[in-house]
Structure 1
Amino acid sequence: LNVQIVNVEYLTAESWADDFHLLKSGTRSAKIKKINFMPGFTKKTGGLILDKNFMRCLSEKKFALNLVKQNLDKKILSEDFSDSFKILIFSYPKNFDFLASAIKEFSFLKKIIVFVASGAGADSAKISLKKFKVDFVCLPFMQQEVWDAFLSLMDFSFVRGEDSFSRCCLLGNPFIWNIYPQEEEFHIVKLNAFLQKIKIPQIEKFSFLYNRNFKASCCPESLEILEEKKLPSELEKINSEMKTEILSLLKNYESLKPEFKKFSNEILKNGNLAENLLNFLETKIPR
């Protein structure tokens, strides 16, 4: 009995994803063959998941809004939901004072609604928002289809997790990625790879500061990137600059959106990961 293993790997923007896609791996038996299949952001990878529900949310805001209304409590969606600037916070735990302060200032310019998603960072986000007297709405856990619809309706999102990150990449709305922190801040290397793909200079400085763990030691690869960017190291100055940076991003939302949309259009051309995988299994795997 011969066995063919197709190893679907995790999502990364690092260049090695192009090289590993469809690369054969060694096994301990001649009867077992293994090949890697990489999700990704380039034509040399398998692309991202583009299921029907998500694609409809992407193209039909009315459909997305109705889906959200049918599945969430009416108290969550106020009457001015559609007319407000909608900010989502779905991040790992951190001190969000800089963000709450920036949102408070931004609220004098725009009618906003801040949504805090359930999960690891919710409590710390609520503490900062309450401290700066910023009104917010707590979100319940949602089914994936409803979450996708909700994400598509946001104007600016702070997201974590591979699923939400990949969805935001495809939606074309401005967002900041809170990457999963790793030892010696190696996640900075992965973050830098993504920033090199999306190519929006305005979000670079904030993205690096937002994802730093200043209490941790830094690996040489990450340290080299951070030194090249000449980022501040004093905590007080860091928080001040983070507020300045994110406030600027919020204020310049309209000019940022075309850049994010351009990136989403590029990766949509790579096709559906699921269809690409099935096509590979049907045409390339011997039976």
Structure 2
Amino acid sequence: MKSHRLWDIFCTVIDNHGDLGVCWRLSRQLLAQGQLVRLWVDDASALAWMAPEAQALPHLQVLPWAAASQHEVLQTLAPADVWVEAFGCSLPEAFVAHGVATRPQQPAWINLEYLSAEDWVPRMHNMPSPVMSGPAKGWTKRFFYPGFTADTGGLLREPDLQERQEGFDRAAWRQQHAPDLAPNALLISLLCDEPAALPQLLQQLVGMPHHLMVTPGRPLAAVQQALSGMAVHPRWSALPYTHQDGFDEMLWACDLNLVRGEDSLVRALWAGQAFIWHIYPQDDNAHHAKLEAFLEWMQAPQSLRQAHRLWNGMAAGEWPALSAAALADWAASAQTARQVLLQQSDLVSQLRSIVMSPHAQHRDGVSLGQHLEEPAMLNAHFP
């Protein structure tokens, strides 16, 4: 059984850049392990800054979502060994119908779900899901749930992550990006939507040595709105968009990281610095239980739990003091969680194991050698 496979990864960009960010990290890790990837996305514009290297990578093609419904395009493509639906998106019906009509056996079909620490996740992870209707009726998908425990799908983690972190010059980064930062001042990164406690945080920063680094887009707009009602402003600067490795380095360099969504939460955990997570809100407040489950898994100190609840509008009260003792407790909690996670198998390794297992139906398709000998099949040009 060949270990090199062709993966079709489908991504719809629903909010901000997290969906595409996760799918790109998944894609580049698969590529680094000798896999071939077609990334289908409805809005790939953020890759221009998130992954400027994407266009030059061999064995990768980034394709417009709409092309998966075009018969003339589908006819040119080599059959993939794996289909991945990221974050519950549904594959275009024309794409599925073409696959059913042109191949004798289904590919490994993975539904890559959202990240959660809730207790039902291990029960659902790796469960088969029969397709009950449509052109693929009778085929089977398999749920894949990322998670924080060994009985889930794990987290995205590059094999060289620890090596990169150990070789990172934190002092040089801080000197380059915040040259006037006092030795005892806090360097804080901000990636958020419109957190309820943002005005309280900004007000507290006015009275302490700090520098706040604000990422572009909604975080910058939220800060500007909050500052409009303040007579005295904290010390802050607006950052440009950066690629994923640059984002990681910012998290490594800062003393406190205020992050948003799933991808940046995982990167904050790997950074091992104090952090607060702005979780994606849901209309029925299901995100409240999701956040509490994560804080419980992390065994977060009470002050960190309260900061999360205030930041996410789940409680009212006074923003906790960002004292040296509190930040040390928060960082220790993150570092303990990081050490636990480093002992677990990473997401890509587990995903590949499932795809390779006898339980995951797939069609061997053409060999890697054939893929490489017929680049037009992988790298078709679209009108």
- TM (norm. structure 1) is 0.77
Q: Quote the sequence identity (%).
A: 23
Letter in 2 for 1:7: N
Corresponding residue of 1:41: 148
Unmatched tracts of structure 1, length 5 or more = 214-230, 233-237
Higher relative contact order (CA 8 A, sep 6+): 1
1:8-62 Cα offsets, whole Å, 9 max, x none, are: 1111111121111111112126751211111110000111111146443433332
- 1:12-161 alignment runs, 5 A limit: 12-28=116-132, 31-52=138-159, 54-62=161-169, 76-78=177-179, 80=181, 84-94=185-195, 96-107=198-209, 112-129=210-227, 131=230, 132-161=232-261
**Deviation, structure 1 residue 7:** 1.4
- 1:121-270 alignment runs, 5 A limit: 121-129=219-227, 131=230, 132-200=232-300, 201-212=302-313, 232=316, 238=317, 241-242=318-319, 245=320, 247-248=321-322, 251-270=325-344
1:150-200 Cα offsets, whole Å, 9 max, x none, are: 111111011102110111122221111011111132211111111111111
1:6 matched to 2:110: yes
**Deviation, structure 1 residue 94:** 4.1
1:226-275 Cα offsets, whole Å, 9 max, x none, are: xxxxx55xxxxx3xx12xx1x14565212332221101111121122112
Does the 8 Å contact 1:118/1:139 carry over to 2?
yes
Q: How many residues align?
A: 250
3-state SS, counterpart of residue 154 of structure 2: coil
Does the 8 Å contact 2:248/2:271 carry over to 1?
no
Greater mean alpha carbon deviation, residues 87-96 or residues 165-174: 87-96
Question: Which structure dedicates a bigger proportion of its chain to helix?
Answer: 1
3-state SS, counterpart of residue 46 of structure 1: coil
Which of residues 269, 282, 287 in structure 1 aligns to 2:356?
282
1:85-107 Cα offsets, whole Å, 9 max, x none, are: 21111111246220012112232
Letter in 2 for 1:11: L
3-state SS, counterpart of residue 10 of structure 1: coil
User: Separation in 2 of the partners of 1:9 and 1:275?
Assistant: 16
Does the 8 Å contact 2:195/2:312 carry over to 1?
no
Which aligned runs of 4 or more in structure 1 are off by greater than 4 angstroms?
79-84, 248-251
Does the 8 Å contact 2:195/2:311 carry over to 1?
no
Letter in 1 for 2:147: G
Change (3 A) 1:249 1:157: farther
Letter in 1 for 2:331: K
User: Separation in 2 of the partners of 1:251 and 1:84?
Assistant: 14
Change (3 A) 1:206 1:249: farther
Unmatched tracts of structure 2, length 5 or more = 1-103, 363-383
Change (3 A) 1:272 1:81: farther
- TM (norm. structure 2) is 0.59
Larger Rg: 2
